[in-house]
Structure 1
Amino acid sequence: MPKSLIHRLQETRLALGNKGKPLSQTRFGEMIGVSQAAVSRWEKAEDQPTEENLLKLIEIEPSFAEFLPIRAQNLPVYSMVAAGKLSAAPTIEQAHIAELKRLPVAGLPKGQYFILQVNGDSMSRIAPDGAYIVVDRGDRTPITGKCYIFMVNGEATFKRYRAKPLRLEPVSFNLDHDPIELDDLEGISVVGRVVKVFMDL
């Protein structure tokens, strides 16, 4: 069991006690619906709370939420996106129409996610041809150095954004790929930021 969880249990019992004495393990267990022996095992790192136990603990002390297991989200997988020349991709803007399947992805914070498969090698240092990328459609404000799915005149491409000079650049082992140089962002929209890459799903 993580040491910080042991400390959190002990600190919580102390906060619930009186006159500087911690609440007894028996009383604390009753609040959660477990025995004194279970609390004792937790604090000795001989066992750990179940997810159901943690949900009860969160009702007492919300900070226990950080110990909940990370759940996998089943994200929709849509059509391929170009990592080379621009490609027509109406399904990226209307992704719900073209959903093919769903794949589980864990460890993502709150966001609006979907998955695309990379077609091409212009981003091969980050995501080689055939890799899967997780896109957050809720993150559309380009920040220099971050990677996004861009729509340019109705066509989609996966590139890294640079503000000075303004361009959409490849990140590739293939030096034949050139950046898309821009005067401004007129006619360009951001579908979402690429937050995770999977080589094999």
Structure 2
Amino acid sequence: MICQTIHDRHLAISASQTQAHSCDFSDCDIRSDRLDTLMQPDDIKRELRLRGMSQRDLADAVGMDETHLSKSLAGKRQFKIAEMDAIRSELAPEPGSEDRLALRSIPLLGEVPAGAFDARSQRSGGRIIVTDPDVPPRAYGLTIKGDSMDLIVPDGSQVIVDPDERKLWPGFRYIVRSADGETTFKEYQDGPARLVPCSSNPAHREILLGSEPVTIEGRVFSYMMRDVPRRSV
């Protein structure tokens, strides 16, 4: 009788999440993978906090309407099975997750200096997995194209950008937008204040601040790249 009660209660809890689930008590295994990995709204919210992700980030990552996600997390709408599968794939903790390395994903917005972008609204659909817990909460990724900074970051590497850090400090690198909408990746130096390329290509020029209008889009927080041979000096 005790086993029957526990079994019935388990199915009652699961039913709201797995509408189509049926069970023959004679051979049911409550420990099935599907039931074992169900995520309740509180589980999802906890994982979002651990990864520094917003509801919008999760909606983008799993291809779900943000309004539907918000209502489901608030208990005003039931998750569809496909939605829960996608969320579980994106967020579900693994066994022993208490000691796991924190993971989160950030949006990959495009390329620099290959063209214009808007870090506040562009949605490419791509994302980057990051493990550093200090990655800023609104950080995004860009793929470097070209040789304007190839002495530091080779072509094809990815940079993580902090859009909330725009104060200029000598020796740090920034994503910069020019008046015509083109973006570039440069290092700031003072005396005089200027943005300098770190490039093997002499065609890339310095930009004196004040000589032309520019917008600082954010400071480069970190790099994701493969090792390359050291250039001779």
Common fold by TM > 0.5: yes
Distance in 2 separating the partners of 1:181 and 1:145? 15
Q: Where does residue 104 of structure 1 map in the other structure?
A: 129
Three-state SS of the structure 1 residue aligned to 2:144 is strand
TM superposition shift of 1:183 = 3.2
Percent of aligned pairs with the same residue?
A: 32
1:193 maps to amino acid:
R
In the alignment, residue 183 of structure 1 is paired with which amino acid? G
2:109 aligns with one of 50, 63, 78: 78
Match of 1:35 in 2: none
Query: Secondary structure of 1:97's partner?
Result: coil
**Matching of residues 13-28 of structure 1 within 5 Å:** none
Deviations 1:86-137 (A, max 9, x none): x541x2344x433231121111415221000011101012211111110011
Partner Cα separation in structure 2 for residue 134 and residue 182 of structure 1: 24
What does residue 17 of structure 2 align with?
none
Contact 1:79 1:92 in 2 (8 A): no
Query: Are 2:135 and 2:221, in contact at CA under 8 Å, matched by a contact in 1?
Result: no
Q: Which one-letter code corresponds to 1:113 in the other structure?
A: A
Of residues 134-143 and 170-179 in structure 1, the stretch that sits farther from structure 2 once superposed is 170-179
Taking a change above 3 Å as real, the CA distance of residues 93 and 77 of structure 1, as seen in their structure-2 partners, is closer
C-alpha distance in 2 between matches for 1:107 and 1:93: 21
Counterpart in 2 of 1:183? 210
Give me the whole-angstrom Cα distance separating, in 2, the residues matched to 1:117 and 1:180. 22
- Residue number among 102, 118, 139 corresponding to 2:144 in the alignment: 118
The 5 Å alignment of 1:1-150 reads 52=98, 70-82=101-113, 88-89=115-116, 91-94=117-120, 96-109=121-134, 111=136, 112-150=138-176
Cα distance in structure 1, aligned partners of 2:190 and 2:133: 27
How far apart are the structure 1 equivalents of 2:206 and 2:134?
31
- Find the aligned partners of 1:167 and 1:142 in 2 and give their Cα distance: 10
1:156 partner letter = T
Change (3 A) 1:108 1:193: farther
CA contact (8 A) 1:78 1:98 kept: yes
Taking the aligned partners of 2:135 and 2:129, their CA distance within structure 1 comes to 15
How many Å apart are 1:77 and its aligned residue? 0.5
Higher relative contact order at CA 8 Å, sep ≥6: structure 1 or structure 2?
A: 1
Query: Structure 2 unaligned runs (5+)?
Result: 1-95, 227-233
Q: Does 1:194 align with 2:220?
A: yes
Over the residues paired in the alignment, what is the CA RMSD in angstroms?
Answer: 2.2
Q: Which runs of 5+ in 1 are unaligned?
A: 1-49, 53-67
- TM value normalised by structure 2: 0.50
Cα displacement (A) at 1:197: 1.0
Give 1 or 2: higher strand fraction: 1
* Aligned-partner Cα distance in 1 for 2:219–2:111: 16
Q: Aligned in 2, Cα 1:108/1:174: closer, same or farther, shift over 3 Å?
A: farther
